[in-house]
Structure 1
Amino acid sequence: MDFKEIIKYDDLISVLDNFSYITGISANFLTADNQWVENKKKGTCGFCMLMKQYYQNGEACRNSDLAGAQTAQKKKGVHVYRCHMGLVKAVIPLFFNNSYIGALFIGQILLEPPTEEKWQEVFEKIKDQPLDIEAARRSFFNLTHIDHEKLQSVLDMMHIVAKYILDSEMIRISSLSSIEKIIEYIKNHYMEDITLDDLAKMVYLSPTYLSYLFKKQLGITFKEYLINIRLKKSKELIETTDLPIGEISKMVGIEDQNYFSRLFKKKFGVSPLNYKKDKYIYDISKKNANT
């Protein structure tokens, strides 16, 4: 699922832009599947753009952001941290029905004016990298810096913005549409190894909440639904082909033929082998009746 299907993209951009305009600090949103929604008025600072382009191919920056988001997700609250270059960032996770749906980031900032001493620390890290050192130096000294008191005010605003994003339903997660998408996926991929965790990631829900929705909407569990689909397809294959039972079992995603036979008999009251025999006898009788 494209993250734009569940995010009111233009509205979210507007909120990020306004936050950045008021505070002078960049604000961006990282979706649950790690796609960025970036503000347009104050994007990534020049220093960070250089680091992402030329320092370890941006890998250190990506790892730092993902680690920050993961920590905030585990804490279920705001997380303030320093990136690998010593810049301060803050992240607050957003949850919908106990499911993590993304994180609001602010930064990159300094909590003190940039100094030659701090620059030397950065220089030691980047001196062997293929980047313009002088451009990096200029951009470092242009970094936004705020004191701890202002940082706390910005964090308070972050909470307000996060609440507004959720309350105004900028993150659109429809329970019904989520189940519909999953049902369609199962119908097309029932023969594959499908797990609840994989499906939950597809619709940005936790496995626990998705399991609850499935039972609520369909009256049966995800596992029961998947088995029913597989058994229905296997019955159709027995009726329309002469394939061996073991092959049919594997074709519908059940590797263990004995397990498949038990499920089939429980569902239809007859083993797949006897069903195949009965179908053969019926076909012969029908053929003789027509001759």
Structure 2
Amino acid sequence: MVIGNTFLPGVFDAIQPALESLSWLHRIWVKFVDCSGTYICTPVKKQQSRFCGLVRSHPLGYRRCRETAVRCAHLDKGTYHLFPCHAGLFVLAVPLQGDAGSFGALATGEVITPSCSTTQVLEKLQDLGLNQELLRQFYQEIPVKSHEEIRMLGEALYALGNIGFRHFKPSTGDGLKDARQLARDAVEYIATNYHQPLTLEGVAQMVHISPSYFSHIFKEEQKQTFTSYLTEARINKAKDLLKGSDLSISVIAGTVGYEDANYFSRVFKKNVGMSPLAFKKRFNKSKC
């Protein structure tokens, strides 16, 4: 039985410190993924390699990386696994099994073993049309791990998976409720901080989940993306200010979170159908 894509916030609280510690100790990115390949929980202090970030920036590269993550959750239980990803790098993974069935995996970011070949890796990615010089440069930043280091990290992941999740019993009903609460928390945060330079990654960190999972549950609950919701909230506030104050367009732009007044005007016109100045004149004319 495979558990769905909803997880309790308590799981994040339990796994986050462990991921941070493992990432720091082994100098490698470690993630918790669900059975669909979604990144549920990732370290805050350790970022994914720039090489993988560049590959995932291409739609086809993203799909292949997602397929690798899915594979992590469907390997044989009872041990850790080292296997090549679609690019020829290596992933260390421990599939997770709770009382209710399989529900994901702990996995490292891609690593290089002493036998890896730069040429072979770049050849596997040629069809993506990415910048070869950047790929080569970012490849050099990926950690090289000896077989002994891989064994130690594999045993650590396996121990964490067995100890931390042995009695995990996800509930789709409770999980849905908690997902809604996380989305509500994000909405409340946006309502208070819309004037700040908010990003999806920053708000996801605020609610203690990975950006990809946050994006998923926010869209599920709000029926629109984080970016469109934030834009709508800012434009609505701008409308109120245009109606009820004599502030200049540039001041209003800064008040609702746009440093560039010209960009604000373009966004406003795209969403409202007229410029901020035209909106202000029409509203003031209607009051006369």
Choose which of 86, 107, 126 in structure 2 pairs with 1:84. Answer: 86
Equivalent-residue separation in structure 2 for 1:25 and 1:88 (angstroms) = 12
Residue 47 of structure 1 aligns to which amino acid in structure 2? F
Equivalent-residue separation in structure 2 for 1:21 and 1:174 (angstroms) = 32
Pair 1:165–1:82, CA change in 2 (3 A): same
Choose which of 29, 32, 37 in structure 1 pairs with 2:32. Answer: 29
> TM-score, length-normalised on structure 1?
0.52
Specify the alignment match of 1:19 in structure 2.
22
Q: How does 1:93-132 map to 2 (within 5 A)?
A: 93-97=95-99, 99-112=101-114, 118-132=117-131
- The answer to whether 1:69 aligns with 2:53 is no
1:154 Cα deviation from its structure 2 partner? 1.0
- The answer to whether 1:173 aligns with 2:170 is yes
Bigger RCO of structures 1 and 2 (CA < 8 A, at least 6 apart): 2
Specify the SS of the correspondent of 1:109: coil
Structure with bigger gyration radius: 1
Equivalent-residue separation in structure 2 for 1:98 and 1:4 (angstroms) = 13
1:94 Cα deviation from its structure 2 partner? 1.6
Structure 1 stretch displaced more, 14-23 or 40-49: 40-49
1:21 Cα deviation from its structure 2 partner? 0.6
Specify the alignment match of 1:8 in structure 2.
11
Equivalent-residue separation in structure 1 for 2:131 and 2:37 (angstroms) = 29
Specify the SS of the correspondent of 2:130: coil
Contact 1:104 1:162 (C-alpha < 8 Å) held by counterparts: yes
Q: How does 1:126-205 map to 2 (within 5 A)?
A: 126-166=125-165, 171=168, 173=170
1:140 Cα deviation from its structure 2 partner? 0.6
Specify the alignment match of 1:191 in structure 2.
none
Query: Structure 2: where are the runs of 5+ without partners?
Result: 176-288
Specify the SS of the correspondent of 1:108: coil
**How many residue pairs get matched?**
173
Specify the alignment match of 2:55 in structure 1.
51
Stretches of 4+ aligned residues off by more than 4 angstroms? 174-178
Contact 2:87 2:121 (C-alpha < 8 Å) held by counterparts: yes
Pair 1:2–1:141, CA change in 2 (3 A): closer
